[in-house]
Amino acid sequence: MLFCLFVLCFPGPFCQRVLLTLEEKKVPYKLLLVNLSDKPQWYYLDGSKIFGAFVTFLKSKDANDGAEQALVNELKALDEHLKGHGPFIAGDKITAVDLALGPKLYHLQIALGHFKKWYVPESLTCVHSYMKAVFSRDSFLKTQAAKEHVIAGWAPKVDP
């Protein structure tokens, strides 16, 4: 399996650490530089907006504050991106962006289902397919937290 590494602008010390590790472990990789003045669309889909909207909605006590709609809007944007580029964020191969977004969506699914009885809308079929594809990978299954631990981890933030 070939590991794909995206380096932003230039290989700085943090990127070099990753490269050194890959070299020392003899992990094959392909280095792709990302031009910061012309970033690809997938660059913006790391899940930070989705995660922020998720946390805001999870903590929200006011059903009319727009937090739910903000999350739905972010998930719709992801769904639209996946329609044209999927099954993963950057296409056919899973990348670091998917590995960052997957755990966020896993926590979103469990925490909102438990605390709010809320689920990703069924109309977002590409998001559902994406979650299934990421969540079913061996690497994800080996590293995922148990549902009860996810719930216990979020409980203090929901009911401080």
Stretch 22-42: mean pLDDT: 75
Please provide the average confidence, as pLDDT, over all residues in the chain. Answer: 86
pTM of the model: 0.77
| Non-local CB neighbours of 157 within 8 Å, separated by 6+ positions | 55, 58, 59
Judgement on whether residues 127 and 67 belong to the same structural domain of the protein: yes
Q: Which domain holds residue 85?
A: 40-158
Judgement on whether residues 76 and 137 belong to the same structural domain of the protein: yes
Judgement on whether residues 28 and 46 belong to the same structural domain of the protein: no
- Is it the case that residue 5 has pLDDT exceeding 60? no
Judgement on whether residues 24 and 98 belong to the same structural domain of the protein: no
- DSSP codes joined into one string, 72-121: HHHHHHHHHHHHHH-SBTTBSS--HHHHHHHHHHHHHHHHHHHHT-----
Judgement on whether residues 61 and 120 belong to the same structural domain of the protein: yes
pLDDT of residue 3: 56
Judgement on whether residues 26 and 91 belong to the same structural domain of the protein: no
Overall number of domains in the chain: 2
Q: How confident is the model at residue 113 (pLDDT cuts 50, 70, 90)?
A: very high
Judgement on whether residues 123 and 61 belong to the same structural domain of the protein: yes
Judgement on whether residues 49 and 32 belong to the same structural domain of the protein: no
Judgement on whether residues 108 and 70 belong to the same structural domain of the protein: yes
Q: Assign residue 147 the CATH number of its domain.
A: 1.20.1050.10
Judgement on whether residues 33 and 45 belong to the same structural domain of the protein: no
Judgement on whether residues 58 and 85 belong to the same structural domain of the protein: yes
